[in-house]
Structure 1
């Protein structure tokens, strides 16, 4: 006998605030078919309304004992976003697979819930948004005021431009989430206000979630609008711009960082002015290279394309084998177990800031050098970057998971500081440049990204100490003192032997 497959669990989460005139009808409109398709529970959370919203929810539960239902009331008003946090926390704690948000004022149609659930049921999405803007001017026909329609369109266009997304609407409140997707984002750090919806969309995209939009009908009745449109637009745009700054590494925002336990490496930055692009340009085809602190080996793969004999050094071997690459595995805070002498170019890209004693590390490298010149290519964040100065001016010095104040950065440098460290380690600086912020990582390498980089480069020409996001250096090695001493001893002994032989020969000639 075949066992019936276990149904997926769906929480139908109804947010309610002063909804005594609409809540019962919203609950009645939830299609009965959804209870057959999924193992459903209804959760109503009343956000401290002073009317009969909570009582009506309780009455509906008592009159429908066949429907699993929980009715809660916040003792204090938590706001639109704060109320959502409670519902999502409930969905996670109770082990649901999906959570669908309905509004207690009836603005979003429960009747289309089954259709919206299909991409999630089929494993084709991590979140489904009901969009009122996919059907041309259908939102206006459904009663959406013209100013809201135009404002929605404008805000969505700006957000798509800045976030490199293609949503038709960022501002619909009809949302269904896979609970596993909610586990991967810090939604509890979001605002308690109405722009919570924008922040959670940004978090989902940052986490790589699959977001699907489906059309929904628009309904505007006589419900009270509690959204201040101007303030909402300001909050939405500010959150979007802050995410751009976060993704660019300019200003870390913890709420926009996905929750992960994996080892993090910086992405390869190619196709625009960056430490990676300039380093690859500096290395001629066929030159031998050792990439110290190589991470997963992205630079090494690019060097292989240039026919460069390449070695990589890191705490962990590259996750995927790279043909033709020599791999050294070691902690860079320990004395080097690898030999740099066979390599013409030494890469230290975004590494010295992670070392406990970068001076000692560079001195250990320098002790291996002989008369054969090596070129060191180094990059590191510029702690004197204007954004960091301004943040310090207002009392902010917050470490994060990326950017200049990455939590794994142990030492921080300015242009002058890097100059001193390299000079003391016996290197002769050939080139020192300022690197712009990696705007194309967030804005794309199109017109907007190129303009941002061009402006940053222009500002760097005015003051590289103030406007450089990173410091880029090419330096030549000089022989180490220990090598010079050993070489002097060896060469002096050989010279002394030649002199002795010459004296003997002169003595023999004189005797003859």
Structure 2
């Protein structure tokens, strides 16, 4: 990367004012770049609220864009202008990633994106920057659609206007947003907001702008729109409208279905941590199946209890519950009812007393060696007629099969392909594992997807549950989101041998 890091007197002096970066992306813009730089208003350079600097990154232009920008920087020695050059073209989105990384790294408070071809008016820079500096918004978008008819008056082609309106309408519906325009390239961001989203995973193409809007919406950041004029001159558009339209709709849909655990991409993982474990009672679910399988007023062992959701519900049935979890969050630790332990290594022989039911809900597929786990369960509980309730994700679910067919078999932070899953099961493979481990299956059931968690307690969620439940009757292995099993350990060989000896001595 070539760098013209033009020294400016006083550039690095300590200032109490905020810092705003005007980030100009440019590619083959030699006819426009000097005009864009000249049009940056004086009140952007000098005002009481913030200090401004310009970063211009030429994305491997084949013309003299870099030379002209550097010459302008040297001529305007009193103004801080840094000109960089990508030796390899990074794409519209890839170039933005570099600029935003620079803004964060250099400690700017706000960064505003400006195009080097003059399509967006530099005269409006201050209107985008000020709400960020004043903490009134996390992002400010210049919109050409806020004032009716302005876009067409600015010579926006009718087909572009229609496409803009149609795509914005669809994206608002998909994402639950209320923006007047998704497709403006004139934007300002707080670097704090940028630091909170994984923009490095975004597309390098023009749909980068949609990806970043989705991320801001997922983080519930404040987005403000301000009207800007539309200008279409003789600049060359490098956007393939059909490809662009398809990509942004796909991204919008993907971000939506990721909330349901069907799809995963790190660019829409704005939390960067495991989703909270939520109760699933009151509808066909793994929690409800387990709750119904436990007799009232009995002793229960909950292995991998998480936030003890089952314990709270089972106590309403008069049950006594011992919960075992690697990390408890809000419950007392290492008491008689709460044991801190790694299930993979937990010594079950140290548990006092007997249990009527053992719960292993969404646990088996996270163990390193489920077979050894079942062996330890059998050794400890086979003589007590203890039932074990097991729920696991069904990797044979139709959506997972379809994803695999399309080459989209990817892990996520929840759902069937949870990142913490070390083993994957189908009905047949779970049954085989249990039978080989010496268990008898007493009950086996397919569980539909947890639609109320995705859509809320709505009629649509209820309809989806009903349809999914009917489909499970037709093909349990294909339409079950989870597998639920009640099993009981057979006597071990040691116990059987001892029984045989006692039987002989009794005759």
Q: Which residue number in structure 2 is paired with residue 328 of structure 1?
A: 339
In the TM superposition, residue 339 of structure 1 has moved relative to its aligned partner by: 3.1
Q: Which residue number in structure 2 is paired with residue 317 of structure 1?
A: 328
Q: Deviations over 1:168-207 (max 9, x none)?
A: 432222232333443444333322211111222233444x
RMSD across aligned C-alpha pairs, in angstroms? 3.9
In the TM superposition, residue 381 of structure 1 has moved relative to its aligned partner by: 1.8
In the TM superposition, residue 292 of structure 1 has moved relative to its aligned partner by: 1.7
**SS at 2:337 equivalent:** strand
Q: Which residue number in structure 2 is paired with residue 198 of structure 1?
A: 210
Task: Specify which of 173, 181, 184 is matched with residue 161 of structure 1.
Answer: 173
Contact 1:243-1:256 within 8 A present in 2 as well:
yes
Instruction: Map 1:112-261; keep pairs closer than 5 Å.
Output: 112-123=124-135, 125-135=137-147, 138-140=150-152, 142-206=154-218, 208-222=219-233, 223-258=235-270, 260=272
Gaps of 5+ in 1: 500-512
Task: Specify which of 10, 19, 26 is matched with residue 9 of structure 1.
Answer: 19
Instruction: Map 1:110-509; keep pairs closer than 5 Å.
Output: 110-123=122-135, 125-135=137-147, 138-140=150-152, 142-206=154-218, 208-222=219-233, 223-258=235-270, 260=272, 264=274, 267-268=277-278, 270=280, 273-280=284-291, 289-301=300-312, 309-319=320-330, 326-337=337-348, 339=351, 343-369=355-381, 374-393=386-405, 398-438=410-450, 441-442=453-454, 446=458, 453-473=465-485, 475-477=486-488, 480-481=491-492
Contact 1:353-1:380 within 8 A present in 2 as well:
yes
**Number of residues paired by the alignment?**
488
Contact 1:440-1:450 within 8 A present in 2 as well:
yes
Q: Deviations over 1:44-91 (max 9, x none)?
A: 122233344323322332232222111123334332212212212322
**SS at 1:367 equivalent:** helix
Aligned-partner Cα distance in 1 for 2:448–2:384: 33
**SS at 1:466 equivalent:** helix
1:23 aligns with 2:23: no
Aligned-partner Cα distance in 2 for 1:398–1:198: 22
Q: Deviations over 1:128-152 (max 9, x none)?
A: 3334444555544555444434433
Aligned-partner Cα distance in 2 for 1:301–1:103: 57
Q: Which residue number in structure 1 is paired with residue 61 of structure 2?
A: 49
Q: Deviations over 1:418-470 (max 9, x none)?
A: 12333444544343233344555555555665565555444433322123332
**SS at 2:259 equivalent:** helix
In the TM superposition, residue 269 of structure 1 has moved relative to its aligned partner by: 5.7
**SS at 1:67 equivalent:** coil
In the TM superposition, residue 329 of structure 1 has moved relative to its aligned partner by: 0.4
Q: Mean alpha-carbon deviation: is it higher for 278-287 or for 247-256? A: 278-287
Q: Mean alpha-carbon deviation: is it higher for 193-202 or for 382-391? A: 382-391
**Residues 1:472 and 1:315: Cα distance change in structure 2 (over 3 Å):** same
Task: Specify which of 107, 113, 120 is matched with residue 108 of structure 1.
Answer: 120
Give the structure-2-normalised TM-score: 0.80
In the TM superposition, residue 352 of structure 1 has moved relative to its aligned partner by: 0.6
